[in-house]
């Protein structure tokens, strides 16, 4: 059985690097970025330096590609609109147009938990809730989600959106606030999530929640588990050896709807 072909944009970024290195034996990758990756790319894989803000470039890149994983873009919440326009809006538009025209099997779009960052930190976000971005970066990701929905329902391009949380390695020890802990996505779970988004069958359009199996979850994982078969293994509170009393936040309550619990957290508490 031949391996699936994957066009991976943003291949030199943190998530792109992690996904390729973990899955290079399972897929045939065409890697795309403006700068060369800092890891070896050997046949049958290939790297193509490209600026996706040119629509003709996207049209050429998608030829023969079965699946597209679109990770490219500016990931900074404080980015200015002038930066975001080309990198996050135009590139996503051109790539989706090209993918639909080329009749690709699946388009996986890296969105962000910033699309719902306007909600209070003590509110767990269920599936289907209205977007509430807290910055222009989040707005561009809302646009990308809506665009994926359009191309899926109106143009027949099967699309999976991944609302990625705080993607950090297990060696990262700076996650000491409620938001980052509850939204943490480990490298291993990220690879599993993207793979599920590629492999799941029977999907027209779906927005998946991209966090690990954290004790407190910023995003509800119920539908992501059900639709994609996602089964995250990591928990920020165990990985970083943290208990609720270590959270540096004024939030008094974190809600875990999957376990039907309301967890009350004191504002100040001394470790045992």
Q: Within a 10 A sphere around the Cβ of 120, how many other Cβ atoms?
A: 8
Q: Within a 10 A sphere around the Cβ of 171, how many other Cβ atoms?
A: 7
Percent with pLDDT over 90 in the chain: 80
The pLDDT of residue 257? 46
Answer whether residue 256 is part of any domain: no
Cα radius of gyration rounded to whole Å, the chain: 19
Q: Which of 265, 91, 97 is nearest to 181 (CA)?
A: 265
Domains of the chain: total:
1
Answer whether residue 201 is part of any domain: yes
The pLDDT of residue 249? 45
The pLDDT of residue 261? 43
Residue 256, SS3?
strand
Q: How far is CA 140 from CA 27, 111, 146, 164, 238, in A?
A: 29, 9, 10, 14, 33
Q: Which of 145, 139, 176, 181 is nearest to 163 (CA)?
A: 145
Range of the structural domain that residue 217 is part of: 5-242
Distance, C-alpha 120 to centroid of its chain = 21
**Residue 73: band (very low, low, confident or very high) from pLDDT cuts 50, 70, 90:** very high
To the question of pTM greater than 0.85 for the whole model, the response is yes
pLDDT tops 60 at residue 190: yes
Answer whether residue 247 is part of any domain: no
pLDDT tops 90 at residue 253: no
Return the structure tokens found at 181: 């802990």
Answer whether residue 236 is part of any domain: yes
Answer whether residue 185 is part of any domain: yes
Q: What is the CATH number of the domain that holds 156?
A: 3.40.50.720
């Amino acid at each position: 059985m031949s391996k699936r072909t994957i066009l991976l944009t943003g291949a030199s970024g943190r998530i792109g690097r992690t996904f390729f290195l973990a899955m290079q034996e399972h897929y045939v990758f065409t890697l795309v970025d403006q700068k060369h990756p800092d890891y070896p790319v050997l046949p049958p894989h290939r790297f193509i330096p490209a600026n996706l803000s040119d629509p003709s470039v996207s049209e050429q890149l998608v030829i023969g590609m079965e699946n597209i994983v679109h990770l490219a873009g500016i990931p900074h919440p404080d980015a200015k609109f002038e930066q975001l326009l080309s990198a996050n809006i135009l590139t996503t538009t051109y790539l989706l147009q090209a993918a639909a025209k080329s009749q690709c099997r699946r388009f996986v779009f890296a969105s962000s938990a910033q699309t719902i960052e306007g909600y209070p930190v003590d509110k767990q976000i269920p599936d289907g809730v209205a977007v509430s971005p807290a910055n222009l970066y989040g707005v561009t990701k809302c646009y990308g989600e809506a665009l994926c929905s359009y191309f899926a329902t109106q143009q027949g391009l099967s699309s999976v959106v991944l609302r990625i949380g705080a993607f950090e390695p297990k060696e990262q020890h700076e996650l000491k606030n409620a938001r980052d802990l509850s939204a943490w996505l480990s490298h291993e779970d990220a690879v599993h999530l993207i793979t599920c988004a590629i492999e799941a069958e029977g999907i027209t359009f779906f927005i998946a929640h991209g966090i690990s199996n954290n004790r407190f979850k910023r995003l509800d994982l119920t539908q992501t588990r059900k639709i994609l078969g996602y089964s995250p293994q990591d928990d920020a509170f165990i990985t970083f050896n943290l208990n609720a009393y270590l959270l540096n936040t004024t939030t008094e309550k974190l809600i875990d709807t999957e376990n039907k619990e309301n967890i009350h957290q004191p504002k100040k508490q001394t470790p045992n």
